[in-house]
């Protein structure tokens, strides 16, 4: 069976989670906020991302804040962009989910001890 992979073999998927305010439509629909990142494992370049939002336009805008950036190395730039360009009620949730994804990425990248 042949599959056409949409993403390179050296890419990984990392999900960041956070909470939104109780009155946020995202919280009503999903129960929490999450961002899924597809990135190159070694360079941490973000190839794609998707977010749990209720409007497609919002998702595209948020995606534009991340794609092409490096997950860890560009943290200050990304957070500054979110704070200065995104004025929706889930701004803090975006930053928290992003930081959660960074934490998970760092855990994945820690060399594993080989048990003999």
pLDDT per residue, tens digit, the chain (116 aa), is 455 568 999 999 999 998 766 665 555 555 578 999 999 999 999 999 999 877 889 899 999 999 999 999 999 999 999 999 999 888 999 999 999 999 999 998 887 666 66
Quick one: which of 52, 90, 46 has its CA closest to 65?
Answer: 46
Instruction: Report CA dihedral (106, 21, 83, 75) to the nearest 10 degrees.
Output: 0
Q: What integer pLDDT is reported at residue 1 of this predicted model?
A: 45
Give me the phi and psi of 108, to 5 degrees please. Answer: -65, -35
DSSP letter (8 states) at residue 70: B
Is the distance from CB of 35 to CB of 55 less than 8 angstroms? no
pTM: 0.84
Q: What integer pLDDT is reported at residue 21 of this predicted model?
A: 63
Could you give the domains of the chain? Answer: 11-109 (3.30.390)
Q: What integer pLDDT is reported at residue 45 of this predicted model?
A: 97
Is the distance from CB of 64 to CB of 51 less than 8 angstroms? no
Cβ partners under 8 Å of residue 48, min gap 6: 7, 37, 38, 63, 67
């Amino acid at each position: 069976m042949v599959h056409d992979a949409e993403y390179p073999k050296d890419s990984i998927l990392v999900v960041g989670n956070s909470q939104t305010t109780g009155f946020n439509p995202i919280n009503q629909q999903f129960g929490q906020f999450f961002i899924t990142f597809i990135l190159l494992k070694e360079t941490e370049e973000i190839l794609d991302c998707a977010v749990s939002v209720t409007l497609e336009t919002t998702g595209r805008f948020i995606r534009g804040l991340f794609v092409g950036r490096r997950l860890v190395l560009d943290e200050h730039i990304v957070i500054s962009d979110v704070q200065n360009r995104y004025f929706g009620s889930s701004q803090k949730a975006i930053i928290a989910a992003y930081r959660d994804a960074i934490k998970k990425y760092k855990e994945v990248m820690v060399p594993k001890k080989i048990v003999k």
